[in-house]
Amino acid sequence: MSKVLHNTLRSYVNLTTLGENCLFVKCFSSSSPRYRAKIIDGVKIARDIRNELKAEVNEWVAHGNRQPHLTAILVGEDQASHAYVSAKMKAAKYVGITSETIKLPATISETSLLSYIDQLNNDNGVDGILVQLPLPEHITERAICNAVTPHKDVDGFHIVNVGRFCLDMKTLVPCTPLGVHELIKRSGVPTLGKNAVVCGRSKNVGMPIAMLLHADGTGETGAMDATTTICHRYTPADQLAMLTRTADIIVTAVGIPNLIRADMVKEGVCIIDVGITRVKDEKTGKDRLVGDVDFDAVVEKAGHITPVPGGVGPMTVAMLMKNTLLAARKEVVYNILDPGAVVQKKASQLRP
């Protein structure tokens, strides 16, 4: 018996004792190193979704509808923002969504920006409106987010969409949380009754991800029924490690490289890394992007893991396309001012 196989079998005995043989058997039967995680390929999954959406758009147009249309508003000269919007418009073109980018100077007043949005709200040729954040300091982001009419709010930032989402009603959900949800679903990772830990409580990412993880799977957002812990800047390091060690799923969206280390996770965990930080590579001296996870070490222990870049990032763009199609089809029925028409599960019918 070769030494490697001998060690492997010895490990098998130990692991069976620990009740973790199931995962082991999976790895044992493959040629990959023991516990080497399945890399969740966000680039590929996003491409699959774009192709699915392309087919849906084709069908929509084949039924006599015009192509969905997305308009982006880009304020100022921030390079990253320009790159993001450009990627979104490229994706739109691929799936058959027509698009336009309105570029405005950083000096634009809030009132002028609001009047651009108002015009787009009233333009029947526009299905989705996207105002690229961040905005210059003198503009109130919340005012802008609320100015986009809810049914064109493909970023899911309008207060009515947030309310609907938190009540588990069908709505336009923010793209990054939606992308995280999709990555977990498409990876086949079980979530019902599992332990999930979310690091970060931002209103656009951490909070909605915690909503999607913990809420009732029979609700309109198709949530994941996981026991869910929200950690944040005031979670002490030892408590964070205690919690992540019990987690079956970790979603981290903090922007602190190496926040999640191998000694902080259990074997087989699914890790979705939403963090993006630019660091200088010590070997090459060049800048590179890293997430919140010590990837090289954790990949040896996790069951599933997203890389950075190439994990959540491409999904955010794909989900924006999904929301634009949803908006074009008017799938979300807004009846807040016509409440008699609301057809929704009673809160008491959701499973607490």
Task: Tell me the closest approach of the beta carbon of residue 318 to a second copy, in angstroms.
Answer: 23
Task: Tell me the closest approach of the beta carbon of residue 245 to a second copy, in angstroms.
Answer: 11
Select 67 or 227, whichever has its Cβ closest to a second copy: 227
Is-catalytic flag, 67?
A: no
By the rule CB under 8 A, 167 interacts with a second copy:
yes
Query: Per-residue b/e over 149-162, b at no fewer than 16 CB within 10 Å?
Result: bbbbbbbbbbebbb
The token pair that represents 291 in the structure block: 């997430």
Q: Which residue among 88, 152, 301, 322 is the active-site one?
A: 88
**What is the distance between the terminal CA atoms of the chain, rounded to a whole angstrom?**
54
Q: Which of residues 125-164 bind a second copy (CB under 8 A)?
A: 134, 140-144, 146-147, 158-164
Q: Which residue among 38, 127, 153, 155 is the active-site one?
A: 155
Cα–Cα distance, 320 to 29 (Å, whole number): 38
Contact by Cβ (8 Å): 254, 201? no
Is-catalytic flag, 155?
A: yes
Q: Return the SS3 of 87.
A: helix
**One-letter amino acid identity for 27?**
C
Q: Which residues pair with 198 in a beta bridge?
A: 230, 251
Is-catalytic flag, 119?
A: no
By the rule CB under 8 A, 70 interacts with a second copy:
no
**What is the rounded radius of gyration, in angstroms, for the C-alpha atoms of the chain?**
22
The token pair that represents 266 in the structure block: 């259990």
By the rule CB under 8 A, 307 interacts with a second copy:
no
- Give the interface segment with a second copy, choosing from 19-27, 30-38, 85-93, 246-254 (CB under 8 A): 246-254
Q: How many Cα atoms within 13 Å fall on the side-chain side of residue 243?
A: 20
Q: Which residue among 38, 132, 168, 294 is the active-site one?
A: 132
Cα–Cα distance, 96 to 84 (Å, whole number): 19
**Number of amino acids touching a second copy (CB under 8 A):** 69
Residues with active-site annotation: 88, 132, 155
Enumerate binding residues for a second copy (CB under 8 A): 110-111, 114, 134, 140-144, 146-147, 158-164, 166-169, 192-193, 195, 200-204, 206-207, 210, 214-216, 225-236, 239-240, 242-243, 246, 253-254, 335-336, 339-344, 346-348, 350-352
